[in-house]
Structure 1
C-alpha cells in the first residue's frame, strides 16, 4: 500500500499476504467469532515478501533446511525477489521511512537528538490529523526548523484516492468516516512518531485496532524481509568465495519486536482477529487456533451474561469492556511465518508478544530477566483506561524493562546487530502507540516521561461537553486549597474530615441515605479507617474486594436504612456496575475518572418511587489537580470556571 504523505513522498505498507497473492485473488480468513471487517485501502495489496528467519540461526545449509518452521531458504528468497519486481524500485526511490528510522544507520539517531530528548527539549505545535482530529505535535528543537518547512503529515480530512484505490466500504457515510479514520491512523504511524490517542469512542475502537495491527504486520514484514535478503547475500558470498558483506546489521538482541499490552484475554482475541484479518486464505494457516479459542474464550457451555442480557440492562461501554474472558493474567507469543501465524510461540522465537501487564510481570519475575523485551521496536498499549483500574505499577514495571541490554547473549550473531542496539540507544527509536478512552495524570506522565522517540510524538486533543444529569439536581462543587500535588491527598482528606463530613453528620437530612464515591483505592482505605474510628456512625462498604455475599448484605442494609452511609470505590463500580438504591445524598470524594459514572450515580436516587430532584443533594470535592476529571464532567469550557474559583 502506498500512502501519500502530502509532501511528494509515499510510504509502502506491506500486508500479511503470501508471495503469490498477486496471482490469485484469495479471500481473507477471519476468526469465526470476529465480525467481518472492512478491508483497508486496496493500495495495500502488495506482495508479502516475508519468509521467516531466526536471528539466532546461522546461514549454514543445515539451518536452511528448517523450512517447515518458516525459516528462510534461497528458493524462497528468489520467490520473494520475483514477486517484488515493481515494488523494489519504488521502495528504493521513496526513501523508505522504515529503513531511515529503524535501519542500521538510522538518520533519526544522533547525539544531539538524544540529548534533546533527555533534556525534554520539545517544541509543541497544534496540528489537524484528519479524522483523528486536533493534536499536539511534539518536535525536537533541533528538528523544529525542518518541521516548519515540511507540510504536516495529515492536515486534510482524508487521503486522496483514485477510482481503483477506493476503500471497500458499506453504503452509508458512517463507514466512510471510519475508513478515513483508519487511513489517517496509518498515515500518522508511517511517520514513525509515537501516537497517543486520548479518546477512543466505542464505535471506532476495533477499526483503530485493525489499522494499528496492519502497521505492526508491516513493521515485522519489513524487518524479516531485510534479514532474508541479507541471508541470501551472505550465502551467495560464501558459495562463490567472495568476502562476506559487512553491511548486514539487521537484527536486535532477540527476535520479538512488537509488544501489545492489554487488560483482559478477550482483548487478546480482538487483536488476534485484527492481525489475522489481513492474512489470505485458504493457504494461510493459524496454528494452535483451537487451543487459543479454548484458553482465551469462555469455557464450553458458559453463557456470557452481558451478551445474554436484554439491551439496556448493562451500559454499552461495560458490555464492550467485560464481555468474553476477563482473566487479567496472560502472555502469548505470535510467530509470523511465510504461510502461517503460529500462536503460543516461545518468547525468544516469536515476533509479536500480546500480554497483560500482570502476566508479563509474573513471567519476568519468574525468569528473573526481561531479555525478550530488549529489542522491542513497536509498543502498543490498548485500553489504558482499563489498565489504570488495575495496577498501574505493573505498566511502569514493564516500561522500565523495555530496551535494556540483555543479561545473556541468546546465541545472537553480534556482527548482525544494529549499532544503536549495541550502544544502548534502542529506546530512542522505539515507536509507541497508546490508546485510551480518556486521559489521566498517570497516562499523561507515561507519555511525557517514558516515550523517548527522536522522531517525535503526537498527542490528540478533544473538547468535552458537560455530561447529562437529571434535571433539577443541585450540584455543589467544593474547591479545597492545595498548592502542591504531593500534598493533595493529605489536603483532600483534611478538608473532608474537618469541614465537609462534620457538617453532613450535623444535618438530619444528609446524615442518612448518603453514598460517598471515592475514586482512589488509597483514599478509599483512608476514609474507611476514619469511619471506623468515628463513634456513632453506621456504614457499609462496596469495594473491588467485596464478595458477592458482602455486596448483597451492604446493599440491603443501606437500602433498608440499617446503614446510614455507603462507601463506594470507583474500581467496584467499574468492575460490577451495580445499580444502588436508597441514595438521597451523594458525595464525591473526588471526581470520577469515568465521566459516565457521574451521570449514573446521580440517576440512581430516581430508581426509587416518589423521589423529586429537590430531595437529592450532591457535593463534589475537588482541587486544581482534578482538571482532567472535571473537564470530562463539566465540559472543556466549564472546567475553567471551576478551577478559577477561590477555595472555600
Structure 2
C-alpha cells in the first residue's frame, strides 16, 4: 500500500520544512522562531547554531558542518535516477512536487555504492534563492554531522548479531516499539479507541498505584521495586556513566523506574523538593536510553555493540539483498525528534539539560556558552526566608517563554539545534505553543516536528497548573499528528504503526507533580492512550490540619452542589448567605480577616460584590491578585496591617508567584481550598502565628473557616488526610471542627 493510501494527510511535497529555532535568550522579549514556527516571531537566542560561540568542542562542530557542505554533491544524475527507481515510496511522493520548488533534496546514503564516500568532495549547487544573494536557513531535516565511516556496507554483522532477535524478546524498547506483538497491539488500540480501560489497585513502595490497561482486564501487575541499574536494559555506555551518578537508587527511583522502562504512562503525584533530582535523573536516563535505541540510521558514534550491530545488520541486509527486494525494515518515524520535555522555567530546563550532559559524559558541547548565558543565572534571586518549594521553582532564570532543541552527534551535544534536526526538545508550554503557531497567524501552524514524539516528560506539572494550562492542552492536542510534508522521510523504512496513525497509542507520557488535580487526571484520561497501559501513583496523605504549629479552631463547612458546572454558583450563594452576615454583624471583630480565593474568576466575583453590594458597605476591603502590581499590593498590605482595610482578598496564584508575608491576619476564611497543601499551612498557620507575635494575640484566638463541596475531594484529602476525607464528604453533617 503506497503512501497515498496509508500515509495520511501529506501535501505530496518532498521538501523538508524549516523548523523553529530552539531556546530564547533573557526573558524572551525578542521575536521568536523561523518561518515555520510562528508568524515573524523570533527570539534573539533562537537562531540556528552554525558558528563557533565558544564552549568545549565547538570548533569540532564547525568542522563537521563544513564537511557536510562538501559532501552535498555526492551523487551523479545517474545515481539520483537509480535512487528514485529503487524507492517507490519516495518516487511517488516526489512526483507531486512543484517543478518550480527550489528546496534541495534530502541527502541519502548510497548503500549500494560505498565508494561514493570518497567521491563526496564538491559542494552542493546553490539554489535559486542563494543565487539571488538571499541568506536562507539551512534545511532543518538535514543531518549535518559527517557520516560515520565505520558504519557502511563494507562492514558486515558479527556472527553473534542474530542474538538481537533473542534480545527483542526481553528488551522493552523492542517489545513496545520495534517488534511489538501485532495481535496484542490491535486489541489494545481498539480498546483504547473505545475507551475501555480495566483498573487494578496495588501498593508500590509507600505509594498507592492505580493501574489501567486497555481491555476487559488489567494485563499487568505492580512491578517489584528496582534493586539497581542492572535491572534495566541500558546501553553499555549509559550503564557505565549512570553507574557513577546513580550508584545507589533511592526510594523514589526504585518505585518509578520499573514503570518508566516498561514504557507505561506514569502520573507521579508525590514529587517533592527532596526527590525532584532523583525523579529527573530517572526520566533523563530513560529518555537517553530511548534516543540511543532509536538511532538506527543516524550516523553517530555508537559505543553500544548491540545497537551498532543492529545498524550494521539492517544496512547489510539492504545492500546484500538489493534495493529491489521485498525486504522491509521498519525502523523509523516521520521526523527525527523523539523526546519532548515540558517544564515551567528556563532554570528547570537547565537542570535537566545538565543531568543529561552528565549522564552522557560528553566533553564537547557546541554553543554551551550561549546556553549558560540564556538559561542560567548564578546569583540567587531570593533569601533563605522563602520556602524550599518556592526556591526550587523560581530560583535562577524563571522566564517561562523558551524552546530549545538538543542534538547528539558523534562526540558532541549541540544546543540550539533546529527542531527538525534535534533528538530532544525542551520547551515551556507557552514557548511550544508559539513555536507551533495558530490559525490566526499569517503562516499556517507547523507541528510536523511533533509527529514522531515517542516520549513526553512533563516535570513540575503543579507549577504548570499556575501558568496557562490551556497551553499544555494545546501542545498535547498537536502531538503525533500525521505530518503535512514529507520532511525527507524514507517511507520504505517507516514503522507501520506510523502509517496507521497509531503513534499516540505508542507514545509514553510521564508526568511528575507534587499532587494530583482534576486537570492532571483529565490530561491522562484524554491524551494518554498507551497500549501498554498507564499508572497513577499517589501517597497516603496524613493531612496538614495538625501541622499548623499553632492553636487555632478550624471549621470546615460543606455546602451542597448538584454538578461541577454549578459549583461556583453554589459556593458564592453559600458565602453570601452564611459568611458575609457574620462579617457585617460583627464589623469591629472582622478586623484582620483574610479571605483566600483560589480561582481568579471567583476572586473577581467576590471583589465586585464587596465593591458594589449595599450589604457590605460597612466593610472596608483591599484586594491582591496575581495581576496586582507591586506598589498597589504594598498599599493593600499596609492598609490591612493598620486596620484601615478590615478585609483582604487574596488569590492562590498571587501566593504562588509572590509568597507575600502578610501581617495582621487574625482570621482566615478559605473561599475554597488551595491545591497545594503547603499553602494551607503557610496561610492558616504561618500568618496566624506571625500575628500572635506581632499583635500579642493570645494563642488560640485565631480562627480558620473553610468552604468545600464534594467536588473538592482531592484538595480536601491533602488537607484533612486520607482517612478523614470519606467521612467528611459522605456524612449527613455539614460542619466539622478541628482544634
* Fold shared by both chains (TM-score > 0.5): yes
Tell whether 2:368 aligns with 1:305.
no
* Residue correspondence of structure 1 range 577-616 to structure 2 within 5 A: 577-602=659-684, 603-607=686-690, 608-616=694-702
Give 1:597 shift: 1.0
Q: Using a 3 Å threshold, how does the CA distance of structure 1 residues 185 and 262 change in structure 2: closer, same or farther?
A: same
Q: Using a 3 Å threshold, how does the CA distance of structure 1 residues 87 and 640 change in structure 2: closer, same or farther?
A: farther
**Match of residue 369, structure 1, among 446, 464, 480:** 446
Tell whether 2:426 aligns with 1:354.
yes
Equivalence for 1:189: 260
The whole-number CA distance in structure 2 between the counterparts of 1:509 and 1:354 is 54
Equivalence for 2:172: 97
Equivalence for 2:108: 58
Equivalence for 2:42: none
Q: Using a 3 Å threshold, how does the CA distance of structure 1 residues 246 and 105 change in structure 2: closer, same or farther?
A: farther
Q: Using a 3 Å threshold, how does the CA distance of structure 1 residues 381 and 78 change in structure 2: closer, same or farther?
A: farther
The whole-number CA distance in structure 1 between the counterparts of 2:265 and 2:183 is 14
Mapped contact 1:230–1:248 kept (Cα < 8 A): no
Equivalence for 2:403: 331
Give 1:176 shift: 8.5
Q: Using a 3 Å threshold, how does the CA distance of structure 1 residues 127 and 533 change in structure 2: closer, same or farther?
A: same
Equivalence for 1:13: none
Q: Using a 3 Å threshold, how does the CA distance of structure 1 residues 108 and 390 change in structure 2: closer, same or farther?
A: farther
The whole-number CA distance in structure 2 between the counterparts of 1:184 and 1:635 is 23
Tell whether 2:690 aligns with 1:621.
no
Secondary structure of the residue that 1:277 maps to in structure 2?
A: helix
Equivalence for 2:198: 123
Q: Which moved more, 1:250-259 or 1:114-123?
A: 114-123
Give 1:232 shift: 7.2
* Residue correspondence of structure 1 range 224-373 to structure 2 within 5 A: 224-225=295-296, 229=310, 233-234=314-315, 237-238=318-319, 243-244=324-325, 246-281=327-362, 284-298=363-377, 303-306=379-382, 309=383, 311=384, 313-365=385-437, 368-373=445-450
Give 1:241 shift: 5.3
The whole-number CA distance in structure 2 between the counterparts of 1:259 and 1:168 is 25
Post-superposition CA distance 1:404-450 (Å, at most 9, x none):
11122223222222111112111111111010001111111111221
Give 1:58 shift: 1.7
Secondary structure of the residue that 2:590 maps to in structure 1?
A: coil
Q: Using a 3 Å threshold, how does the CA distance of structure 1 residues 633 and 88 change in structure 2: closer, same or farther?
A: farther
Q: Which moved more, 1:468-477 or 1:68-77?
A: 68-77
Equivalence for 2:207: 133
Mapped contact 2:453–2:480 kept (Cα < 8 A): yes
Secondary structure of the residue that 2:520 maps to in structure 1?
A: helix
Q: Using a 3 Å threshold, how does the CA distance of structure 1 residues 105 and 470 change in structure 2: closer, same or farther?
A: closer
Structure 1: gaps of 5 or more residues: 1-30, 33-54
The whole-number CA distance in structure 1 between the counterparts of 2:562 and 2:348 is 40
The whole-number CA distance in structure 2 between the counterparts of 1:87 and 1:160 is 24
Give 1:522 shift: 1.5
Mapped contact 2:225–2:255 kept (Cα < 8 A): no
Q: Which moved more, 1:199-208 or 1:233-242?
A: 233-242
The whole-number CA distance in structure 2 between the counterparts of 1:541 and 1:570 is 12
Equivalence for 2:89: none
Give 1:617 shift: 1.9
Secondary structure of the residue that 1:202 maps to in structure 2?
A: coil
Equivalence for 1:562: 644
Give 1:383 shift: 0.5
Q: Using a 3 Å threshold, how does the CA distance of structure 1 residues 472 and 230 change in structure 2: closer, same or farther?
A: closer
Q: Using a 3 Å threshold, how does the CA distance of structure 1 residues 240 and 402 change in structure 2: closer, same or farther?
A: closer
Q: Using a 3 Å threshold, how does the CA distance of structure 1 residues 139 and 591 change in structure 2: closer, same or farther?
A: same
Secondary structure of the residue that 2:648 maps to in structure 1?
A: strand
Give 1:476 shift: 0.9
Q: Using a 3 Å threshold, how does the CA distance of structure 1 residues 509 and 639 change in structure 2: closer, same or farther?
A: farther
Q: Which moved more, 1:55-64 or 1:462-471?
A: 55-64
Mapped contact 1:257–1:351 kept (Cα < 8 A): yes
Equivalence for 1:5: none
Secondary structure of the residue that 1:540 maps to in structure 2?
A: strand
Mapped contact 2:226–2:257 kept (Cα < 8 A): no
The whole-number CA distance in structure 1 between the counterparts of 2:119 and 2:621 is 70
Q: Which moved more, 1:421-430 or 1:84-93?
A: 84-93
Q: Using a 3 Å threshold, how does the CA distance of structure 1 residues 176 and 640 change in structure 2: closer, same or farther?
A: farther
Q: Using a 3 Å threshold, how does the CA distance of structure 1 residues 87 and 215 change in structure 2: closer, same or farther?
A: farther
Equivalence for 1:637: 723
The whole-number CA distance in structure 2 between the counterparts of 1:143 and 1:606 is 52
The whole-number CA distance in structure 1 between the counterparts of 2:351 and 2:283 is 12
- TM-score calculated relative to the size of structure 2: 0.72
**Match of residue 571, structure 1, among 653, 662, 677:** 653
Structure 2: gaps of 5 or more residues: 1-54, 57-104, 111-115, 122-141, 232-238, 300-309
Mapped contact 1:195–1:458 kept (Cα < 8 A): yes
* Residue correspondence of structure 1 range 207-222 to structure 2 within 5 A: 207-222=278-293
Secondary structure of the residue that 2:295 maps to in structure 1?
A: helix
**Match of residue 624, structure 2, among 537, 542, 565:** 542
Equivalence for 2:269: 198
Q: Using a 3 Å threshold, how does the CA distance of structure 1 residues 333 and 184 change in structure 2: closer, same or farther?
A: same
Give 1:558 shift: 0.7
Give 1:237 shift: 4.5
Q: Using a 3 Å threshold, how does the CA distance of structure 1 residues 156 and 347 change in structure 2: closer, same or farther?
A: closer
RMSD: 3.2
Query: How many pairs were matched up?
Result: 575
Give 1:525 shift: 1.6
Mapped contact 2:550–2:700 kept (Cα < 8 A): no
The whole-number CA distance in structure 2 between the counterparts of 1:214 and 1:497 is 53
Q: Using a 3 Å threshold, how does the CA distance of structure 1 residues 327 and 246 change in structure 2: closer, same or farther?
A: same
Give 1:154 shift: 2.4
**Match of residue 227, structure 2, among 158, 165, 179:** 158
Secondary structure of the residue that 1:613 maps to in structure 2?
A: coil
Mapped contact 1:128–1:156 kept (Cα < 8 A): no
Give 1:645 shift: 3.6
The whole-number CA distance in structure 1 between the counterparts of 2:399 and 2:652 is 20
- TM-score calculated relative to the size of structure 1: 0.82
Equivalence for 2:552: 473
Give 1:318 shift: 1.1
Mapped contact 2:345–2:399 kept (Cα < 8 A): yes
The whole-number CA distance in structure 1 between the counterparts of 2:714 and 2:687 is 24
The whole-number CA distance in structure 2 between the counterparts of 1:594 and 1:240 is 61
Give 1:305 shift: 2.9
Q: Using a 3 Å threshold, how does the CA distance of structure 1 residues 249 and 357 change in structure 2: closer, same or farther?
A: same
Mapped contact 2:281–2:355 kept (Cα < 8 A): yes
The whole-number CA distance in structure 1 between the counterparts of 2:207 and 2:648 is 41
The whole-number CA distance in structure 2 between the counterparts of 1:195 and 1:87 is 34
Q: Using a 3 Å threshold, how does the CA distance of structure 1 residues 240 and 326 change in structure 2: closer, same or farther?
A: same
Q: Using a 3 Å threshold, how does the CA distance of structure 1 residues 108 and 615 change in structure 2: closer, same or farther?
A: farther
Post-superposition CA distance 1:208-256 (Å, at most 9, x none):
1111101101111111136665587457745885645632222222111
Q: Using a 3 Å threshold, how does the CA distance of structure 1 residues 177 and 91 change in structure 2: closer, same or farther?
A: same
